[in-house]
Amino acid sequence: MEDVFGMPPLGAVTLGTGPGVISSQPDKFSYETNGYSNNPNNRDAGFRQRQQSSGMFTQSRGSANPSAGDELSLRPTTSMLPKTKVSGILPTSAQQGNYSASQDLFVTPQPQPPNQKPAPPLMHKEPPILIKQASNEKSKSNKKDKGPTKDEYLKRLHNVLESLYNGQNVCDVVESYRGIKIPDKFLSHAVYSILHSVLKSDTKVEYGSQLLRQLRSEGILNTDKLMDAIKQIMDQMDDLGNEIPRVQSNLASLLGPLIAGGVLSLVEVMEPLEGGNNFPMFLLILQTLHKNEGKTWLITAYNESKVNLMNLLVEKDRTKEKLADLLEETELSFLYPLLRIQADLWKSLTADPSPQVFYKYIKDNLDPEHHTAPSFINALVTVIVKYVASESTMALDSNLAIAPEKSVTEQEKELLGRYKPVLQAFLHDQMKLQVIAIYALQVNQWLTWLQETEEDEEDEEED
Distance (Å, rounded) from C-alpha 411 to C-alpha 418? 11
Which one has a higher pLDDT value, 61 or 246?
A: 246
430: left (phi over 0), alpha (psi -120 to 50) or beta: beta
Q: Is residue 442 part of a domain?
A: yes
203 falls within a domain: no
The answer to whether residue 259 scores a pLDDT higher than 90 is: yes
Q: What is the pLDDT of residue 453?
A: 54
Q: Which of 374, 290, 376 is nearest to 335 (CA)?
A: 290
pLDDT higher than 70, residue 74: no
What does the pLDDT look like over 377-393, one tens digit per residue?
A: 888 988 998 888 888 77
Of 324-338, 403-417, 448-462, highest mean pLDDT: 324-338
The CATH number assigned to the domain holding 355 equals: 1.25.40.180
Is there a domain that residue 421 lies in? yes
What lies within 8 Å, CB to CB, of 182 at 6+ separation is 153, 157, 190
| 418 within some domain | yes
User: How far apart are the C-alpha atoms of 210 and 176, rounded to whole Å?
Assistant: 15
What is the domain count for the chain? 1
pLDDT digits (tens, 9 = 90+) for 194-219: 999 999 998 899 999 999 999 999 99
Q: Please tell me the predicted confidence (pLDDT) of residue 296.
A: 94
Can you tell me whether residue 183 is helix, strand or coil? coil
Query: Which residues are 87's β-sheet partners?
Result: 90
Q: Dihedral (C-alpha) 428, 432, 438, 444: value to the nearest 10 degrees?
A: -110
Instruction: Compute the chain's Rg from CA coordinates.
Output: 61
Residue 371, domain extent: 338-454
Domain assignment present for residue 303? The answer is: no
What pLDDT, in 10s, does the model give residues 326-339?
A: 999 999 998 988 88
> Which residues lie closer than 8 Å to 370 by C-beta, 6 or more apart?
337, 338, 376
pLDDT band at 412 (very low <50, low <70, confident <90, very high): confident
Distance, CA of 326 to CA of 292 (rounded, Å): 20
Helical H segments across 307-401, by residue range? 320-329, 341-351, 355-365, 374-390
Q: What is the pLDDT of residues 269-292, one digit of tens each?
A: 999 999 999 999 999 999 999 999
> Is residue 57 situated within a structural domain?
no
| Residue 106, pLDDT score | 44
What is the end-to-end Cα distance of the chain in Å, rounded? 163
Residue 155 lies in a domain: no
For residue 99, is pLDDT > 50?
Answer: no
User: How many whole angstroms from its chain centre is CA 46?
Assistant: 84
Which band of pLDDT confidence, cut at 50, 70 and 90, is reported for residue 104?
very low
90: which strand partners?
87
pLDDT at 452 over 50: yes
Q: Does residue 283 fall inside a structural domain?
A: no
CA–CA distance, 344 with 338 (Å, rounded to integer): 9
